[in-house]
Structure 1
Amino acid sequence: MQDQLQKWQQGTGNKTIIVHCNNGVGRSGTFCGILSLVELLKVEGVVDVFLKVRSMPITSKFVQTLTQYRFMYDALLVYLDNFDTYANFK
């Protein structure tokens, strides 16, 4: 999903992407948080979901429930599982 989003953004000349939530802020905050955490994971190789989300200005107010944190954590695990499946580090 993130790769498709980046390709789409590049196709628009790297214009800003607006994320709009149909129920307030919970879903969009979780979505933006996952994208940000994946980027951090790529750069740092490790990420503390709770601490990073709380320190990000855009998501710190929007991710409010344990279910949202759990979803973000699980999404990162799925990302890592897929990455490990296709990566060739040997």
Structure 2
Amino acid sequence: MPEFAAALAPATLQRSPEISVIVPTFNEQDNVALLVEKIDAVLKDVAWEVIFVDDDSTDRTLEVLQDLARNDVRVRYIHRVKRRGLASAVV
């Protein structure tokens, strides 16, 4: 079984991102959509992407991320199987 599943390759950005925001997540189903809205508002004049690195959440975080990524090419995610800690998501 692979240690992670990623939704990185299929996305085709309209223009290359100037900023990539990496966000480690664990059980953040209620927060990820709001964070995308906030990033979009703050970086409205910048080409951005956000990459969520989910640490095998037990809530609906993965499903929310999948839906966000399906509807916005700037949103990507990596789902790590087996918890490895949030700090390792950005190293």
TM-score by length of 1: 0.30
Flag the structure with higher strand content.
Answer: 2
User: Of the two, which has the highest radius of gyration?
Assistant: 1
